[in-house]
Amino acid sequence: MTPVVDGRPLRIALLGCGIVGSEVVRLLHDSAADLTARIGAPLELAGIAVRRPQRVRDLPVDPGLFTADAAGLVERDDVDIVVEVIGGIEPARALVLSALRRGRGVVTANKALLASDGATLYQAARSFGADLYFEASVAGAIPLLRPLRESLAGDRISRVLGIVNGTTNFVLTRMDETGAGFDEALDEATALGYAEADPSADIDGFDAAAKAAILAGIAFHTRIQVDQVHREGIADVTAADVASAAAMGCTVKLLAIAERSETDRSVGVRVHPAMIPRSHPLAGVREAFNAVFVEGAASGELMFYGRGAGGAPTAAAVMGDVVAVARNLLSGARGAGESAYADLRVRPMGETVTRYHVSLDVADKAGVLANVASVFAAHDVSIRVVRQEGHGDDATLVIVTHAATDAALAATVAALRDLDIVRAVASVMRVEGQDR
Amino acid sequence: MTPVVDGRPLRIALLGCGIVGSEVVRLLHDSAADLTARIGAPLELAGIAVRRPQRVRDLPVDPGLFTADAAGLVERDDVDIVVEVIGGIEPARALVLSALRRGRGVVTANKALLASDGATLYQAARSFGADLYFEASVAGAIPLLRPLRESLAGDRISRVLGIVNGTTNFVLTRMDETGAGFDEALDEATALGYAEADPSADIDGFDAAAKAAILAGIAFHTRIQVDQVHREGIADVTAADVASAAAMGCTVKLLAIAERSETDRSVGVRVHPAMIPRSHPLAGVREAFNAVFVEGAASGELMFYGRGAGGAPTAAAVMGDVVAVARNLLSGARGAGESAYADLRVRPMGETVTRYHVSLDVADKAGVLANVASVFAAHDVSIRVVRQEGHGDDATLVIVTHAATDAALAATVAALRDLDIVRAVASVMRVEGQDR
C-alpha cells in the first residue's frame, strides 16, 4: 500500500449512528487531541450514513455530514477508513465489500456478517490490499481478537471457553444468586434493559454462536461458519438445575466453547449451558459482563474480562481498531489478514468429549440404582458421582459422569428415558471447566 | 525499513538460555510448521549466547549454535531478530542497544532494563528504525502491553490496578486461606519454588515496582522510571491484618496501581499491600496467578488474567513478540514506538487520594473514641466505619476512613501515635477497589 501523506487528516465514513455509532462520534470529538497524538495525524469524519439524515441528534458534529446515501459515501474518493456499525447482513455486507474493493480500511462490529461470510470479506481485503478489523464483534470492549491473532501467535491454543453474551449471563446470575426461575429472571433483565423485547437472539444462543464461530476461526486458524456451531440456549434451564449445580459447588453459565482435539486434526465449536465449578475464573463473571478463558500449550490459562456490550464499550473497541488502521495507512503497512492455514476438520457434536450431569425422577425401590448404572455401563459411560435426593415418590437420582463422547451420553439419556423405573429425566446438563 | 526478502528464513539471535530461553528454543522447534505458516517465512536460530557454551543441554538444537560471545552474535550480519532473556541491566543493555543500532528487531523480557532506562531504548529503536517489543516483561504470558498500546489506543485509561508479582500473591493467598503468618506462608512459597532463596526483589516490591513503571508509562503516554514509583512490600503484613480485612469482606493483595488525576495533568504510580473487597475481580486471583484490572472512560472495567511467570508462559509471550517483529520485517512495517506525548507530571505519594484501614491498640476507657476521632477531624480525614474489638487491655479500635490524601492520612497516623490513650498503632493499610 502507498502510505497516506503525513499530516493530512485521515477521513472516516461512519455507516450507522445508533447506540454504538453515536459513541464513536463522541469519542472522535472528545479525544481528538489524544487520537491525533497517538496516530500522528488527525481523524476527521467525512460523512455519516443514516436512514433519516434530517433527524435532530444531540451529537458534537456538523449536521451537514449526515447522508442517507451510504453506498455513495463509501465510494467517495476522500474516504480513508470505513466504520460499519449498522449490523445485520445487508446492506452492511455490500457496503463493506465496496469499501474493501476500493482499498479502504474497514472497521466493523458486525458479528453476524463475520460469522456467516467472513471468508468473502477476508478475500476481498487481501485482493485489494485493505485492512479488515473487527475487535468489537466479539465481547465488546474486551481486547480479545487482536491478542489472539497477534500476542498468542507464538503459542498453540487448545481450548477457548467464553461467556460472550451479557443478556444470558445476567439471567443466569440472577437465577444463581436469588433462586429465581428463568421467566422471572428474564423479566428482570428486560426491565433493566439487559434483554431486548424479542430476546431470542440472545436467549437461544444465536448471538453467542456467531461469536463462537469468529473466536474459533481465529484461535484455530480454520474457517468456521456459524452453521457449524452446535447451539443450545438457556430457555430450558430451571431453578432446579441451578440448585443442583450449587449443590455440587458449581454454577450454570452459557458457554461458547471451541476446542482442538489432541488426537486428530479437528476442532469442535459449541454453545450451550453448562455447569462449571465455582473455583473456575469464569464462575465469578457476573451479570452482563463477558469473559473469555483461553488455554494455551505454553501460556497456560488466560482470561480476558470486561463489558461485552453497550454503546461506549463497543465504540472503544471500534476506535482501537480505527487507530490501528490509521497507523497502518500512515506507515504503508497492513494488519494481519485471514489465517486459515490449519484448515482443521470441524467435528460434529457427537464426537465432543464432555461430561453430563443428569437428574432422574425415579421410583424409590430396590434395584433402581443397579438398573440405571447398567444403562450407563452399556454405553461405556463411566459414572463419577451418584447422589440420591428425597425418597418415596419424590426420589431424585443425580448422576455426574466421567468424560465420554456426547453421542454416548445422548444415547445413555435416551435409554434412561425408556426405563420403567425412571419416571422422568428431569434435566441433563454438560459439566465443563474441570480437569479431565 | 526495507522488507526482508520473502521466503528466506528470518534468523534469531537468542541471548540467554535459562528457564525462559530454553522454552523459546523448544517452542521454535516444536511449533516450527505453525510459526512458518503464521509468519510467511521460517524462523531459524542464528546462535545462542550463554556463559558456558560447552555445557550439555537437553534441547532440540545444534550444540554448535551456542557461543559465549554475545556481543559478536548480535553484530553478525545474518541476524534479523535479537531475543534478550538474560535479565538485569548489563550486559543486557549494551547488547540490546547494539542490536537496535544495527536495525535488528529486539524482543526482550527485561523489566528491570525497561523500567530503568526505557527511554534510551525507545530512542535507539526510533533512530535506527528498529522494532522494540517487550510483552513478556510484565505479567508473563498475559497479553497486556500490546492490548494497552494498541487495542485501547482509542480510549482514555483512568486507572490500572495490577497483581503483577506471583510470589507475593502466593504468600498473601496462603495467609488469607489458611490464617498463616507471613513467615510461615513465605516458607511454604519457598518450599514450593514460588519464592527464591533471596526473596527480597519480590517481597519488598521491587519487581512489582518495575512492572508498575512500564504499565503506567504505556497506559498514560508518559515516561515513568522505577524510582518514581512509591514502593512498599508485604513483609509487614500480619495475620491480624488479613483477619481484619476478612472481617470487612476484603482480602489483602500487593497491588501495582497507576492512576491519572481527574483534576490535573498528573499520574501517580505506587506499589503497596492493600485491602480490596472480595467482590472485586482481582480478589479471586489466587496463588501465583497475575491479573491486571484496567478502567477506561469508554471501555469500562477490563481485566487480563493469567500466569505471570515461569519458563513456558514467559516464552509464549516472547514468541508472540517474535512473530510480530517477523511479520513487520516481511512487510517492511514497524510496530508502535514510544508514546510519551502526554508527558504528565508524576505526583508524589502524598498527593494520592486513597483510604486507610487503621488498627489501634487503645486503653479501654471513656473518651477514647472521642479523642481518636478528633485527631482524624483535625487532619480533615473523614471516618467511614469504626469498630471496637475486645475490651480491657486487649481493646482494639479499627477505623476505616473515607478518601483523603495520603499525606493527610499519614499525618493523622503520626498524631495518633502521640496520643497517650493509643498504646500502639497496630497496623495501617490502604483500602482500594471500592467506589470513591
Question: Per-residue pLDDT tens for B32-44?
Answer: 999 999 999 999 9
Provide the β-strand partners of residue B161. B257, B293
Q: At what angle do helices B406-417 and B368-378 cross, to 10 degrees?
A: 140
User: A136, A235 in Cβ contact below 8 A?
Assistant: no
At A1 the pLDDT is 46
Q: Say yes or no for a CB contact (<8 Å) between B152 and A316.
A: yes
**Contact criterion met (CB below 8 Å) for B348 and B226:** no
pLDDT in tens, A237-287: 999 999 999 998 999 999 999 999 978 899 999 999 999 999 999 999 999
As a whole number of angstroms, the distance between CA A430 and CA A432 comes to: 6
Q: How far is A273 from chain B (nearest CA, A)?
A: 23
Q: Which CATH architecture has domain A349-431?
A: 2-Layer Sandwich (3.30)
* B211 has catalytic annotation: yes
Q: Would you say B323 and B136 are in contact if contact means Cβ atoms under 8 Å apart?
A: no
Q: What is the pLDDT of residue A8?
A: 86
| Residue intervals in chain B for CATH 3.30.360.10 | 145-307
Q: What is the C-alpha separation between A205 and B340, in angstroms, rounded?
A: 44
Lowest average pLDDT, out of A65-79, A294-308, A357-371, goes to A357-371
Tell me the one-letter amino acid at A376: F
- The Cβ of residue A153 has, within 10 Å, a number of other Cβ atoms equal to 25
With CA atoms as reference, the chain A residue closest to B1 would be A331
Residue position matching grid coordinates 481498531: A321
Taking CA atoms, what residue in B is nearest to A309? B299
Sequence-distant (≥ 6) Cβ neighbours of residue B72 within 8 angstroms: none
Task: Give the confidence band of B77 by pLDDT, cuts at 50, 70, 90.
Answer: very high
The mean-pLDDT minimum among A75-84, A402-411, A418-427 falls in: A418-427
Chain B positions in Cβ-Cβ contact with residue A341 (cut-off 8 Å): 37-38
* pLDDT score, position A7: 67
pLDDT of residue A435: 64
Could you say which of A111, A211, A253, A365 is catalytic? A211
Contact residues on chain A for B38, CB-CB shorter than 8 A? 153, 221, 339, 341
Sign of CA dihedral B289, B290, B295, B300: negative
Q: What HEC string does chain A produce?
A: CCCCCCCCCEEEEEECCCHHHHHHHHHHHHCHHHHHHHHCCCEEEEEEECCCCCCCCCCCCCHHHEECCHHHHHHCCCCCEEEECCCCCCCHHHHHHHHHHCCCEEEECCHHHHHHHHHHHHHHHHHCCCCEECHHHCCCCCCCHHHHHHHCCCCCEEEEEEECCHHHHHHHHHHHHHCCCHHHHHHHHHHCCCCCCCCHHHHCCHHHHHHHHHHHHHHHCCCCCHHHCEECCCCCCCHHHHHHHHHCCEEEEEEEEEEECCCCCEEEEEEEEEEEECCCHHHHCCCCEEEEEEEECCCEEEEEEEECCCHHHHHHHHHHHHHHHHHHHHHCCCCCCCCCCCCCEECCHHHCEEEEEEEEEECCCCCHHHHHHHHHHHCCCCEEEEEEECCHHHCEEEEEECCEEHHHHHHHHHHHHCCCCEEEEEEEEEECCCCC
Contacts A31 to B, Cβ<8 Å: 154-156
The per-residue pLDDT for A263 is: 85
Interchain CB distance below 8 Å, A324 and B37: no
Q: A10-140+311-331 is classed in which CATH architecture?
A: 3-Layer(aba) Sandwich (3.40)
∠ CA A364-A369-A375 to the nearest 5 degrees? 130
How far, in Å, are A27, A163, B232, B244, B270 from residue A310 at the CA level? 14, 16, 38, 38, 32
A221 contacts in chain B (CB < 8 Å): 34, 37-38
- Quick one: CATH architecture of B145-307? 2-Layer Sandwich (3.30)
For A238, A337, B89, B194, the CA distances from B127, given in Å and listed in that order, are 63, 29, 21, 40
Out of B141, B298, B342, name the one closest to residue A315 (CB). Answer: B298
Please state, in angstroms and rounded to a whole number, the distance separating the CA atoms of residues A318 and A64.
23
- Per-residue pLDDT tens for B88-147? 999 999 999 999 999 999 999 999 999 999 999 999 999 999 999 999 999 999 999 999
Per-residue pLDDT reduced to its tens digit, A80-139:
999 999 999 999 999 999 999 999 999 999 999 999 999 999 999 999 999 999 999 999
Answer for the pair B208, B142: CB distance below 8 angstroms, yes or no: no
Is the pLDDT assigned to residue B83 strictly greater than 60?
yes
Q: Which residues of B381-417 are buried (b: 16+ CB within 10 A; e: fewer)?
A: beeeeeeeeeeeeebbbbbbbebbbbebbebbbebbe
Confidence of residue B393 (pLDDT cuts 50, 70, 90): confident
Buried b (16+ CB within 10 A) or exposed e, B129-157: ebbbbbbbbbbbbbbbbbbbbbbbbbbbb
Predicted pLDDT of residue B434: 80
Q: Answer whether A147's CB lies under 8 Å from A292's CB.
A: no
Residues ≥6 apart with Cβ < 8 Å to A209: A115, A226, A229, A231, A256, A271
> Which pLDDT does position A388 carry in this prediction?
86
Average pLDDT on A12-38 reads 96
This model of the complex carries an ipTM of 0.93
- Measure CA B31 to chain center: 29
Residue A324: CB atoms within 10 Å: 24
Chain A closest CA to B222's CA: distance in Å? Answer: 12
- Residues of B whose CB is below 8 A from A143: 143, 147, 150-152, 302
* Three cell numbers written together for B430: 490502604
Contacts of B343 in chain A (CB under 8 A): none
Query: In the numeric block, which cell numbers belong to residue A354?
Result: 464432555
Task: Kindly report the nearest CA distance between residue A256 and chain B, in angstroms.
Answer: 19
pLDDT at A436: 46
Report the pLDDT averaged over residues B276-290: 94
pLDDT tens profile B222-275: 999 999 999 999 999 999 999 999 998 999 999 999 999 978 899 999 999 999
SS (H, E, C) chain B: CCCCCCCCCEEEEEECCCHHHHHHHHHHHHCHHHHHHHHCCCEEEEEEECCCCCCCCCCCCCHHHEECCHHHHHHCCCCCEEEECCCCCCCHHHHHHHHHHCCCEEEECCHHHHHHHHHHHHHHHHHCCCCEECHHHCCCCCCCHHHHHHHCCCCCEEEEEEECCHHHHHHHHHHHHHCCCHHHHHHHHHHCCCCCCCCHHHHCCHHHHHHHHHHHHHHHCCCCCHHHCEECCCCCCCHHHHHHHHHCCEEEEEEEEEEECCCCCEEEEEEEEEEEECCCHHHHCCCCEEEEEEEECCCEEEEEEEECCCHHHHHHHHHHHHHHHHHHHHHCCCCCCCCCCCCCEECCHHHCEEEEEEEEEECCCCCHHHHHHHHHHHCCCCEEEEEEECCHHHCEEEEEECCEEHHHHHHHHHHHHCCCCEEEEEEEEEECCCCC
The minimal CB distance from B153 to the residues A281, A312, A323 is found for A323
Q: Are A124 and A338 in contact (CB under 8 A)?
A: no
- Is the pLDDT at B207 greater than 60? The verdict is yes
The rounded distance, in Å, linking the Cα atoms of B247 and B235 is 21
Do the strands A157-163 and A250-260 form a parallel or antiparallel pair, or are they unpaired? antiparallel
| Chain length of chain B | 436
Mean pLDDT of chain B: 94
* A300: nearest CB among B155, B297, B306: B306
CA distance B94 to B101: 10
One-letter identity of residue A393: D
Smallest Cβ distance to B299: which of A154, A307, A327?
A307
Residue of A299, A321, A344 to mutate for B, most B C-beta atoms under 10 A: A299
Domain with CATH 3.40.50.720 in chain B: 10-140+311-331
Contacts of A135 in chain B (CB under 8 A): 151
CA distance A280 to chain B (A): 10
For chain B, give every residue range classified as CATH 3.30.70.260: 349-431
Orientation angle between helical segments A182-191 and A166-178, nearest 10 degrees? 120
Mutate to test the interface with B, among A28, A135, A155 (most CBs of B within 10 A): A155
Written as nine digits, the cell of B116 is: 530503568
For residue B1, name the pLDDT band (cuts at 50, 70, 90): very low
- Asked if the Cβ–Cβ distance from A301 to B306 is below 8 Å, we say yes
Kindly determine whether residue A141 and residue B302, on different chains, have CB atoms separated by under 8 Å: yes
Across chain A, what does the average pLDDT equal?
Answer: 94
At B366, the amino acid letter reads A
A164-211: pLDDT as tens digits: 999 999 999 999 999 999 999 999 999 999 998 899 999 999 999 999
Scanning the structure block, which residue is given the C-alpha cell 469464569?
A282
To the nearest whole Å, the CA of A129 is away from the closest chain B CA by 12
Structure confidence at residue B3 as a pLDDT band (50, 70, 90): low
| B325 pLDDT tier (thresholds 50, 70, 90) | very high
State the sign of the Cα–Cα–Cα–Cα dihedral A194, A198, A204, A210: negative
Question: Is there a contact between B316 and A296 if contact means CB atoms under 8 Å apart?
Answer: yes
- State the virtual CA torsion across B34, B40, B43, B46 in degrees, nearest 10: 170
User: Which of the residues A150, A279, A289 would you substitute to probe the B interface, choosing the one with the greatest number of B C-beta atoms within 10 Å?
Assistant: A150
Residue A356 has pLDDT above 90, yes or no: yes
